[in-house]
A = this chain, B = another copy of it.
Amino acid sequence: MAFSPLVDELVESLRCLPGVGQKTAQRMAFHLLERGREGGERLAGALEQAMSGVRRCDSCQNFADTELCPICQDVSRRNGTLCIVESPSDLLALEQAGDYQGGYFVLMGHLSPIDGIGPEEIGVERLLRRVQDENVTEIILATNPTVEGDATAHYIADRLADRPVLVTRLAHGIPVGGELGYVDGFTLGHAFRGRKPLAD
């Protein structure tokens, strides 16, 4: 840039955000410099803290500030039910719907052999240990209703076939091909209540 290496570096750095190209990064940088320095300083601090401080929960794999996330720390939610989701935003959508009171397991993705993401990468062994250790009686497969989400759900169901655990799948109300994080709470609640055992 013609006028400021600091502005240059800010524009370049903003491009690490998803969906932000050169023009958008420039607009963001100028906006912060002109009218949002306080916000920019707050964001700098939040980024620094989060990038170094956020870890994965030892039990559910979700983002957490401590070894166990608040949900896993809550003994009232260890009721023998585990809901399997692909991502933290899916978990958030379900929590905001408010229908569900059990535990979670966050895969942080789905099976995708072409990208080198196998059972180990999404934590299937860890999940199977939890099913055993915590005497889980029901696994609710809430992966996204996509080809990859369905394949992941079926793989997990297969691995649980010889365990004394009911395997269910969120049922109807979820638009096919959609993403769980964008579904409204009413529809999610409906899908929870309408869940049914997974058929082969």
Min Cβ gap A57→B in Å is 7
Residue A156, interface by CB 8 Å: no
Question: How many angstroms between the C-alpha atoms of A49 and B36 in the bound complex?
Answer: 14
The number of chain A residues with a CB under 8 A from chain B is 62
Q: SS class of chain A's interface: helix, strand, loop or mixed? A: helix
Q: Does A99 belong to the interface (CB within 8 Å)?
A: no
A199 at the interface (CB under 8 A from B): no
Q: A5 is contacted by which of B44, B47, B65 (Cβ under 8 Å)?
A: B65
> Are the CB atoms of A33 and B6 closer together than 8 Å?
no
Contact call B18/A69, Cβ cutoff below 8 A = no
Q: When the two chains form their complex, are residues B13 and A43 in contact, meaning their CB atoms are under 8 A apart?
A: yes
A3–B47 touching, CB < 8 Å: no
From B17, B26, B45, B182, give the contact of A28 (CB < 8 A). Answer: B17
The smallest C-beta distance from A6 to any residue of chain B, in angstroms, reads: 5
A91 at the interface (CB under 8 A from B): yes
Residues of B within 8 A of A26 (CB): 89, 92, 181
Q: What are 28 of the A-B contact pairs (CB < 8 Å)?
A: A2-B69, A2-B92, A2-B95, A3-B64, A3-B71, A3-B91, A5-B65, A6-B65, A7-B88, A9-B46, A9-B50, A10-B49, A13-B43, A13-B46, A14-B43, A14-B46, A16-B39, A17-B31, A19-B24, A30-B87, A33-B54, A33-B63, A43-B47, A44-B44, A44-B45, A44-B48, A44-B51, A48-B48
- The 10 A-B pairs with the shortest beta carbon distances in the complex, nearest first, are A16-B39, A44-B47, A13-B46, A13-B43, A44-B48, A10-B50, A40-B51, A3-B69, A2-B95, A18-B31
